[in-house]
Amino acid sequence: MKVTRKRINKKQSIQLFLPLSSQAYLSQFYRDKNATFSGRILPNLEKELKAMQDFFGLEVTGKLDSNTLETMKLPRCGVTDVARYGHFQGKPKWKQSVVTYRITEYTSQLSKREVDTTITKAFQLYSDVIALDFKQIYNGTADIMILFKAEYHGDFYPFDGPNGVLAHANAPGPEQGGDTHFDDDERWTLRSRDINLLLVAAHEFGHALGLEHSKDPLALMYPTYRYVNTNGYTLPRDDRIGVQALYGKCFL
């Protein structure tokens, strides 16, 4: 009996040798959800891998080298990195001068007062530089609804446990627009150890205001988590320019 061997093309080869976790990473953060593949079953994993390497300033090889793999393992935001501009497509923004927010579910790792104070500080980083104010409400539906919850939490993007996706947020808009979710499997703190809530909240509220991820490693909107000293922390230049392009400057 003659055995015929099917030839594996380059795209299939790349998929076969990429770990499932790496394929999932590329699918979540680097796949253009509006792209069509002309009837092809396999998306272009090599193209997505190169896009990821380019975004993070790595050597663009199209191969899963050690630097690329280590970057994929870093704690990060759950919002995609695929964008043509520093803003979401269509540049959505809040039209009103006061944006309301409500925290519906708190983490047990910090007191409610600590969470409230930290969330207020995160919003203040933006209100200090743009003509927009934020107000916390305690009942009803706010513009930005905030919760801490693990795994499946009411949307199509379940969290993945500790040290993976830390949080995610929607762009401005009706209904779920601006809503921000934090993974309660993370160890939230107000210090340098574990995951600092102020830094992650400020990053996610950038998305809730209309900012996309930045390629600048010093920017707050860089997709991976990095602790910086939060004493006297102000919005980095790249983020300030981006949010002021949407809302204008704040003149005190």
Q: Which residues are catalytic?
A: 204
* Residue 177 is labelled as binding a ligand: yes
87 assigned to a ligand binding site? no
**153 assigned binding-site residue:** yes
The answer to whether 143 is annotated as binding is: yes
**Is 216 annotated for ligand binding?**
no
Q: Binding residue per annotation — 248?
A: no
Residue 204's closest CA among 25, 72, 76, 55? 76
Is 70 among the annotated ligand-binding positions? no
- Helices 45-55 and 20-30 sit at what angle, rounded to 10 degrees? 70
Binding site, annotated residues for Ca(2+): 143, 160-161, 177, 179, 183-184, 186
- What are the binding residues? 77, 143, 153, 155, 160-161, 168, 177, 179, 181, 183-184, 186, 203, 207, 213, 221
